[in-house]
Each structure stands twice: as C-alpha cells, then as structure tokens.
Structure 1
Amino acid sequence: MAAEDHAPRTKPHGDKSKKRKKPKKDKWGQPISAAADAEVPLVEPEQEPPAEDPAAEAEEAPAPVAEGYEPSKVVASGLPYSTTEAEIRKLFEFYGPVRSVQLSRFPDSGQFRGLAFVCFESDEIAASSLELDGFKIGNRFMRVERCRVTAGSNKKRKAEFQTDPEKSEGCLSAYVGNLSWNVTEKDLRDFFKSSKIASIRFAIDKRTGGSRGFCHVDFQDDESLEKAVAMNQSELQGRPVTVAYSVSNRG
C-alpha cells in the first residue's frame, strides 16, 4: 500500500514539469516552434548593415563647404594690373589642378583690375591654396579667400569677363584707373604732358565726396589719345596706372 501510494504521487509531479516546458503561443494562439525561435536572432544581424551604410558613406564624403561660399573656388585680389592669366594659373597650380581662371575687368575699359576667380578640381585643393593669402607679387600683397556666393552676380560678371574693347570710331577719351586717392588734376596733366588734354572727369564717391580711384580724360586730338594709351601701366605715385580707350555704357 505504501508503494502504491508513492507511485501516483510521482505522476502528477511529472505532468506539471511537462506543462512548464510547453512552447509559447503567438497572438493567434499557435505554438511557436523551436525552429522559429532559432531564426529570431538571425533577423537582427540582417537589419544592422543598412544602418551602418549611411555612416560609412558619410565618412567617405568630403566635408561640406560653409554656407554662402562656392565650392572649389577662391578669389584672388590685390594683384598688379599687369599680371597675366598664365601667371595666375601657374601660381595656383602649385596646389593642384586648376579648372579655370577668370579675370575680372573694368567695365569701361576691359582692362584687368587685379581681381581673379580661380576654380580647382576639388574643394580640398581650394582650401590649400588659401596659404597664398598675403603672398607678394611685384610690389603688392595678394589676398586670397573663399569665393562668396552673390545673388544676381551673373549679369555683372558677364560684363567683367569680356575681352579688351577696341577703339571706337571718333573716340578721343581714355579711361584712367588704379589711381591713388590723392591724385589731382594737375598730377594727371603732368602725367600726360605729351598729350593735349581737353578735360578731366573724376569719378566721385557720393557718400564720401572723394575720388573712386579712376577718371576719364578727354583729349583734343587722336594723336594725344594714342600717346596716352601707350602709357598704360606707367607708374604714377607708386602705382601702375591703367590707361585704355574709353567705352560708353549701353546698359
């Protein structure tokens, strides 16, 4: 009797243990198989690579250019007016391949005004070229900086990058630029002493009332004009003066 009483007691105990090991059911009441449980961990590693790809691409991508500046482009100013495009290109090619060099010119005369835009093949090269800031060319110190994006500047640049203008029929006037702020009419008459001057018209800054650094000189005859133009890049008060045929603005 004792043995018979002991035996049934082990069966309920065994039954309970089996119930605890029953597989869990999903929300539809279906049992989740062991194979399905084994597949669950495999889903997460497959989802990880897509999350890593954007990070990897971000590391390979170049650093963004500061807002308001054109990528891979710098502007060089303060150059002597006698500087050529070839000389500017050779100077900047020391840092890497140069795509283009654009010379800014005076709208009136078409003469180079000491300002150039240099575009490189990469923004990294452009950043390296900033080392030229303060570089001395002739008796002037060049300034090199990032090229700012200027809204509506395309129309202005179109006029600036045109070729040097030819002498128009009946022209007796010359554009004279890169003048020192304190140059007087007497200084200019002495400068063009071999020519007969009819009048001198200085460009005046409306805000300050001072000279804007250029003027137009009207001559009495064609011979006087030709002599004056031949003095282009001659020095006046320590500065190379630009002298070119005057071109009327046509809007």
Structure 2
Amino acid sequence: MSKTKVGGDQKRKAERKAAKAAANAANGAADVDAKMTDAGSELKKEKKEKKEKKDTAEKKEKKEKKEKKERDEDSEEKKERKAKRKEKKRQEEESNETESTSPNPTADDDDTEESPPKKRKRDAAEGDLEIDVSLPQPPSKKALRKLKKHPELAPKILKPTPSNAPKAEIDKSTFPEHSSQVRSKHGVWIGNLAFSTTADTLRDFIALKPEDVTRVNLPTDERGRNKGFAYIDFDSEDALDHALKLSEALLGGRKVLIKNSKDFSKRPASAPAPPKNGANIDKNPPSRILYVGNLDFSTTAEALQEHFEFAGKIQRVRLATFEDSGKCKGFGFVDFLDIESVRRAMLGLTAEEEGTMNELEGKAEVELASRRKRRAMLIGRTITMEYGQDPSVRYKKRFGGKDREGGDEEGGSAVPRKKEWKDTRSTDAGAAYSSDVRRTGAITAGEGKKMTFAE
C-alpha cells in the first residue's frame, strides 16, 4: 500500500509540473503576440506621422510658391503703373515747356490750357485779398461755447474791441492800451449793492457829470447779475470827496457802504505765510541749537554735519536713532557756536552771502535762490528746521523749575539734585502682624470676586 501511495504522489507532482509548464508556455506565447501587436501599431503610427508631415510640407511649399508668384505679379503691375505715371508726367512737362516757349499759341495749345496741371501756384496778379478791419472780430470757439450755455451774455461777448476798428478811428479814452490808464488815483469801493444794480444806476446815484466818472467796474457772476459790490474811479479829488459823503445812503432800498479804494483799515488779517524752505524761524525763541526734522532713515550724523557746515562752526550733532537697527528716527539736533549761525542755517545763507544778498541782481540772484533751495533739502527730502529748546528750559519744564546743580546758564547740562533717602518703615514690631488677616483670623467682608475653573 505504501508503494502504491508513493507512486501516486509522484505522478500527481509530475502532472502539476506539466500543467504549470503548459500554462507558462501559453502566457509566453500571449506576451509574444501582444508585443508583436504593439510593435505593429507603433510602426503604423510612425508611418502615419511621416505621411502627415510629408503632406504638410508639400502644402506649405505649394502655398509659398503661390504667394511668391502673386508677389511677382503685383511687383510687375506696380512697376508698370509707376512707369506709366513717369511717362505721363514727362509728357505734361514737355507740353508745359512747349506752351511757354511757343510765341503764337495754336488750337492745340487752347486744348491744353483747358486742362492745367493739378498743382499750380496762385498768380498774385489775379486779385489781392481785401480785409476790412472795421468789421467786428468773430467770436472764438470758447466764446461760442459760452454763448450756447448763456445766451444772455451775447451783448457783452460780441461787443467790438480795439482790434476790430481801424487805427484812425480808435479813441484811446474809450479803448485804453493798458489797464493803468483806466484806474485813477481817486477811486472808491461801494458795497452792499442789490443784485439788480447796474452801471447806469450807480452813475445816477453819484450825481456827477459824465466826464467826472472815468470808470465803473461792476463784477458780475455767470448769470450776469451784480455780485454786490463795485469800483468807481474819478478824475479829481473833489469828485472823490463827494462820493465818500454818500456812504450809508439808500440805493435800491439798501444802505450802501462807500470807502476809499486805498483804505484797508478794516480788512481781515491774512493768514500767516507758510515757512519758506521748511524753516520756521518764529516758532521758538532763538537758541544755539538747530532742530532738524523730516530726515531720511539713512541719514547719518556725519552727513548732517557736512550739510550745515556752510552756516558756521558746529560744536556737535545729536541724531536720534533706533536702538535695534541704529538708523535715524527722522530728526536730530545741530549745536552751533552762536545763534547767528543757526539763523543762517535756516535761511540757507553763508556769512558772505548774507551781507551781499540785497545787492545781487539778475543771474547772480537766481543762482543764490537755487543754492538756498538745495540747502533746504537733504537726501531728496525737504527738511524742517526751527530753533531747538535750550537744555535749561527743558529741565524747568520737566521738573517744575526746581534748583539744579551743574551746567551753565547758556545751555549747559542740567543735573537734578540728589534726594536723601529716608526710612519710612514703622518701628512697631507688631504692626505688620496686626494688619495681616491670615495671622489674626479676623472675618473680612467679601469683595464680590468669583473664581471659576475650566473643566
């Protein structure tokens, strides 16, 4: 039995090996077939791509040949047209020459005269242009646009000007050459007028001869109405006095105010002018210290000292810098030897230029102005300048004017007096324990605080 079993196992093993070998052979054949099919498809794809490239190349070549042929035909046509134009021009020139040289024109010449050349200068003898200067000047485009919006301004815009009339008819009294000929030394300003007031109304109100009033200037708005005031000029002092007496009189139901045109007593004070070149001289009291602001972050103390050397001798330069990077904070202080140097630094002048500034004229004055403008700038920025506060003044502001030790009155360093230390502790040994709640066990009132714990 054992021999039979052993023989059966060997047989089964041999069968399995044979089946496995057959399966491997079948798989190998399938792989070979797949590889063969892939290789065939790749060959077909390559052949197809080659054919497409060849077709595109042939189409491109045909297109280029066609375009070249068309270009050649166009160039030939252009050459022919150009040659025809030259020939035609030459014939026209020859015909013109024959016309000018022939003493007795013939019938053919008459035919040529009927079709003259296109470009021909106008013969001056045919007729001179005549311009009538007495006619009114045509309005400009700007005036026409204004008339379109406000037709009621037509009489004012379209009135004749001195350039419209002949020189012989110009009346200088009516059309002065300059505004200074209209304005006189005897003039008044009249205010609180009604919007309906006109120049004729003002002339009747003044009640003078027409020749006594040289000008009535009545400013109007875009609607053509009076703005509420006017200027009137007279030819004599007597006429001016007569007009001033009419102040507070009624005109159109309103009390008018009349003042001399040179009277500026009640004019409101104008706003202070901004500092020139970034310097504000009147802000702080004079000092030997110059405050400089609006500096670039890359500014150094050496650059600041070199920039202000023109004004005078510099004792030291203090530049505010950041602790981490060491760059400029945007401001600094320059300590000069005297106050005059600080003033010159703000004005942008040297000691020599300050003495000769009022005597300069023309080109020298323009050059000095440009130098002063450059001195007010540093690294492309307009710097702000003013008198810096003296250290003693800053100390008094900070510590309330207490006594100080050290430093001079002219701005030296001020050091506060040292305070004596005093022991403020209690000498009672049990005072600390009596005030301690935990040690005494006393009951304390609640303070309303609540403690919560996060889960």
TM-score, length basis structure 2: 0.18
More helix by share: 2
More strand by share: 1
Q: Which has the higher contact order (CA 8 A, sep 6+)?
A: 1
Larger Rg belongs to: 2
TM-score, length basis structure 1: 0.32
